[in-house]
């Protein structure tokens, strides 16, 4: 039996993304899709997002992620009538203090070493994302200004050094970093 969407029961194809996650795509290729799908040597359907550096190759076909076309999803995320503003948040009494769009270049960005002996102080932050945000990102759209918002911030950890994994203190900050970026080259 062909795989079906658990929500709308339309046929889908399960692919495995480069991150190892499962992504459901619509079975038929669609030139407006943003998932490049191919079958690897083991017969597994694989998918990835074509980029300027790695554009679509001859053995890949563009498909739409099913989440972009799923009627069950559209019902859930349909805009309330009379609202042209593409947001699903209920009207807020106060506008959020910060609204930081995610710079595309920062997504999965490789961290740059500030130099040997230099600490790389970081804070790890965890943000909650909603179905609508995920759908927009899957469609390659702007996830909207609320993604990195105080409202969505769940927890932070740090400040600590990414390289030597020591928590920040004046004492540690005045000493040379003994860590590395984890790449022994
Ligand atoms: Zn569906
Ligand atoms: Zn350090």
Same domain? 109 vs 166: yes
Same domain? 59 vs 110: no
Identify which has the larger pLDDT, 89 or 2: 2
Same domain? 73 vs 108: no
User: Is residue 2 in a domain?
Assistant: no
Q: Which ligand is nearest the CA of 10, by number?
A: 1
Separation of CA 86 and ligand 1 centre (Å)? 22
CA distances from 122 to 111, 161, 162 (A): 11, 6, 6
User: Is residue 1 in a domain?
Assistant: no
Contacts for 126 with CB less than 8 Å, ≥ 6 apart: 153, 154, 155, 156
Same domain? 58 vs 20: yes
User: Is residue 120 in a domain?
Assistant: yes
Separation of CA 65 and ligand 1 centre (Å)? 10
State both tokens at 78: 């349909």
Listed residues 62, 77, 92: the one ending a domain: 77
User: Is residue 3 in a domain?
Assistant: no
Q: What is the pLDDT of residue 98?
A: 47
> Into how many domains does the chain fold?
2
Separation of CA 91 and ligand 1 centre (Å)? 28
pLDDT at 68 over 80: yes
Same domain? 71 vs 111: no
Mean pLDDT of 121-125: 87
Mean pLDDT of 111-125: 89
Q: Are strands 153-161 and 22-25 parallel, antiparallel or unpaired?
A: unpaired
Q: Which ligand is nearest the CA of 7, by number?
A: 1
Q: Which ligand is nearest the CA of 70, by number?
A: 1
User: Is residue 109 in a domain?
Assistant: yes
Identify which has the larger pLDDT, 72 or 80: 72
User: Is residue 24 in a domain?
Assistant: yes
User: Is residue 185 in a domain?
Assistant: no
Cβ < 5 A residues, ion ligand 1: 5, 7-8, 70
Q: Are 35 and 65 in contact (CB under 8 A)?
A: yes
Separation of CA 106 and ligand 2 centre (Å)? 22
Separation of CA 2 and ligand 1 centre (Å)? 14
Q: Which ligand is nearest the CA of 11, by number?
A: 1
Separation of CA 180 and ligand 2 centre (Å)? 8
Range 34-49 burial, b when 16+ CB lie within 10 A, else e: bbbbbeeeeeeebbbe
pLDDT digits (tens, 9 = 90+) for 10-54: 999 999 998 888 999 999 999 999 999 999 888 899 999 998 888
Q: What is the CA radius of gyration of the chain?
A: 21
Mean pLDDT of 115-127: 89
Mean pLDDT of 94-99: 46
Q: What is the pLDDT of residue 11?
A: 94
Q: Which ligand is nearest the CA of 24, by number?
A: 1
Same domain? 112 vs 68: no
Same domain? 108 vs 58: no
- HSE, side-chain direction, 13 A CA sphere, residue 18: 7
Same domain? 132 vs 168: yes
User: Is residue 94 in a domain?
Assistant: no
Same domain? 65 vs 124: no
The CA-based angle 30-7-138, given to 5 degrees, is 45
Q: Which domain holds residue 58?
A: 13-77
Q: What is the pLDDT of residue 97?
A: 45
């Amino acid at each position: 039996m062909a795989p079906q969407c658990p929500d709308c029961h339309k046929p889908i194809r399960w692919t495995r993304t480069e991150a190892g996650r499962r992504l459901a795509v619509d079975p038929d290729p669609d030139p407006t899709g943003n998932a490049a799908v191919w079958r690897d040597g083991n017969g597994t359907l694989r998918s990835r997002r074509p980029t300027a550096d790695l554009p679509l190759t001859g053995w890949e076909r563009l498909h739409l992620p099913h989440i972009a076309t799923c009627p069950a999803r559209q019902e859930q995320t349909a805009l309330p009538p009379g609202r042209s503003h593409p947001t699903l948040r209920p009207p807020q009494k106060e506008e959020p203090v910060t609204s930081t769009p995610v710079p595309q270049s920062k997504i999965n960005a490789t961290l740059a070493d500030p130099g040997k002996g230099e600490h790389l102080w970081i804070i790890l932050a965890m943000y909650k994302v909603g179905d609508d945000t995920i759908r927009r990102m899957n469609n390659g759209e702007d996830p909207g200004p609320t993604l990195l918002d105080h409202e969505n911030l769940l927890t932070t950890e740090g400040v600590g050094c990414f390289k030597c994994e020591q928590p920040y203190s004046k004492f540690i900050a005045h000493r040379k970093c003994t860590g590395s970026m984890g790449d022994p080259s």
